[in-house]
Amino acid sequence: MHDFQEKKLSLSTSCLMAKTFSLLIFVIHYRYESLKTKSE
């Protein structure tokens, strides 16, 4: 039973990390695009 809780916890953690990572990529991409348009 304890092993199941461990797996569930690690699964939610990896899901959270994936969401944070994609959000980070989105922010970096957005800022890069705005910098590109400003320099023109």
In total, the chain counts a number of residues equal to: 40
Residue 14 is encoded by which pair of tokens?
């990896």
Helical ranges in 1-40 per DSSP H? 2-39
List, for residues 1-40, the tens digit of each pLDDT value: 578 888 888 999 999 999 999 999 999 999 999 988 887 7
Q: What is the pLDDT of residue 21?
A: 97
